Amino acid sequence: MFRLAAALLCCLAVAAPARADVFPSRPVTLVVPFSAGAASDLFARLIAKELKDTLGQPIVIDNRPGANGGVAAESVKRAKPDGYTILMGTTGTASNVWLFRQQRVDPTKDFEPVTRLGSINWVIAVHSSSPHRTLASLVEAARAQPGQLSIGHGSAGGLIASHMLLKAFGIDMISVPYRSSPQATTDLIGGRLAAMASDFASGAGYFANGDMRPLAISGKQRSTLYPEVPSMHEAGVADFDLVGWFAAFVPAGTPKPIIDLLNARIVDAMAAPALRPQVDKLGIEIITGTPQALSEHLTREIAKWEVYVRDSGLQPE
């Protein structure tokens, strides 16, 4: 009798369906494509604080710098499509299509869009001790000393912004690449760079305390957050309208119900009253929307960056 009962219990255990975990039932990882202190990192950490509450699980920040965001993108591409790994996509998600000959990631096929997160301008900046108080002054010095002044950059946006600047004014400066903007900022403040093309977020604290001086922003219009800084268009570069962005993506194949839930929870997090004033200090404008809207935005950005890369004269690596 005992053996019969035991066998019956085993059969029932096998026949009973396994209880499916309700998403999310454990911490979610947000993969950031640049190092600590970069715009994407600073923004991601602010979002994570609010998303922890709306999603109901801790958010783990995983910084994976390299290849202009390519290292992070490839890691997310290979992650299990279960919603527990999110990519903090950036402008590099679109520009890398044109900046690298060997493509390990196809942003339109390897990821599912979740939502846009925000936009940001780049800025041409100098150290506070620099004699240059205007972009015209920096350009004049570069013309007088061809190939002697250096300009650093730590992202695709900074790379393109600096090269478009050089081409627009016909000047020759030493272009110095960095894995991320904070490293370039350190060298600028240390006097090892004459200028840099930085995102506003990476330089915001230095602008506020007077260690760095912004000369011009990359957008066609002045930033409402930094209205005193002229645009590149005002500085004499017609049609210069380079605006960066951030967005959330998950691996291709992630179930739609999970994508929809992530979209709703992230949008809720981005609307938290405590978030906006902190994001404003970074010079970032919050922008959210549907997965479809992000998909369309990515398609437009890939086409736009083909033109930017071509016009800047850069050759794919």
pTM for the full model? 0.83
Helix (H) or strand (E) holding 153: strand 150-153
pLDDT in tens, the chain (317 residues): 445 444 444 444 444 444 457 899 999 999 999 989 888 999 999 999 999 999 999 999 999 998 889 999 999 999 999 999 999 999 999 999 998 988 899 999 999 999 999 999 889 999 999 999 999 999 999 999 999 999 999 888 888 888 888 988 999 999 999 988 888 999 999 999 999 998 888 888 888 889 999 999 887 788 877 788 898 888 777 777 788 899 999 999 999 999 999 999 999 999 999 999 999 888 899 999 999 999 999 999 999 999 888 877 778 88
Helix (H) or strand (E) holding 112: strand 111-127
- In the chain, the domains with their CATH numbers are 28-120+243-312 (3.40.190.150), 121-217 (3.40.190.10)
